[in-house]
């Protein structure tokens, strides 16, 4: 990995765009990411018409990946957003955990001027929290346990749990479970999405001004909602040497 933090912001957005790996049964069980602008055009004025929809069942590599950026003198942030029409947690009874709509994301924070050297921290959405990895591995983020990850050039590889679409650093990661029995499912042999192929700024979407829920009261809040503010994943802290963790 060789991140040039002096690059133009748009170049960084492209060079750091994540690569998502889906479960081999995703298309048979639930749904792949899709075009959020199309969904908003159809249902944005009347979400009561938005019903359970397990489509698409085949990954379209040209699916939009939306992103937003923040840039200060000492910190650059990029957050990549993915839209799914439905969240279907595997095998859980009474459809607990299932809901309309599913916004997931990957965020990277770049620190070009740290006293401990240039550093990058990734936060990947995982249910109601985030998992973290870092570069170099000698740094971490306060109050998070940094996990081992893999990259192609500067593109982080992320494994997506079947149906719930929670994100993981590896197909062998320890998964989230409910009641120790109903757990996320990962696999290493499914479809692969290189998000850099169709990056769209949130600021240029037709839903940039919409801050409500994408569906009923259980549906996720819009990426532009205050809940998804700049510090949603973690406070504005600095990375620390991993031996201090």
Transcribe 154-192 into DSSP letters: TEEEEEEPTTT--EESSTTSPPPEETTTEE----SSS-E
Nearest to 159 by CA among 183, 110, 126: 126
Question: What's residue 180's pLDDT?
Answer: 87
Question: What's residue 117's pLDDT?
Answer: 87
Question: What's residue 4's pLDDT?
Answer: 85
Question: What's residue 8's pLDDT?
Answer: 94
Question: What's residue 244's pLDDT?
Answer: 67
Beta strands 155-160 and 19-22 are parallel
Alpha helices, DSSP H only, in the chain? 9-15, 26-29, 36-43
Residues found in the chain: 245
Q: Which residues of the chain are under the pLDDT cut of 70?
A: 244-245
What is the maximum alpha-carbon separation in the chain? Answer: 53
Instruction: Express as a percent the part of the chain with pLDDT over 70.
Output: 99
Question: What's residue 115's pLDDT?
Answer: 85
Report pTM: 0.97
Q: Under a CB-based contact definition with an 8 Å cutoff, are residues 236 and 131 in contact?
A: no
């Amino acid at each position: 990995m060789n991140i040039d933090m002096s690059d133009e912001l748009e170049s960084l957005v492209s060079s750091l765009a994540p690569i998502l790996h889906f479960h081999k049964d995703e298309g048979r069980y639930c749904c792949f990411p899709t075009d959020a602008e199309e969904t908003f055009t159809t249902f944005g004025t009347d979400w009561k018409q938005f019903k359970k929809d397990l489509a698409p069942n085949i990954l379209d590599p040209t699916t939009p990946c939306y992103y937003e950026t923040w840039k200060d003198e000492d910190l650059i942030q990029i957050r990549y957003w993915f839209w799914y029409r439905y969240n279907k947690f595997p095998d859980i009874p009474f459809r607990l955990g299932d809901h309309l709509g599913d916004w997931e994301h990957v965020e990277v924070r770049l620190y070009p001027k740290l006293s401990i050297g240039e550093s990058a921290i990734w936060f990947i959405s995982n249910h109601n929290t985030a998992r973290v990895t870092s570069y170099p591995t000698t740094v971490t983020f306060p109050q998070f346990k940094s996990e081992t990850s893999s990259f192609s050039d500067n593109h982080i590889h992320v494994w997506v749990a079947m149906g719930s679409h929670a994100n993981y650093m590896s197909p062998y990661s320890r998964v989230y479970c409910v009641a120790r029995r109903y757990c996320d499912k990962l696999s290493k042999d499914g479809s692969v999405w290189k998000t850099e192929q169709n990056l769209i700024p949130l600021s240029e979407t037709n839903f940039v001004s919409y801050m409500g829920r994408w569906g009923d009261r259980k549906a996720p809040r819009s990426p532009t909602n205050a809940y998804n503010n700049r510090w949603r994943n973690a406070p504005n802290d600095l990375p620390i040497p991993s031996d201090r963790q």
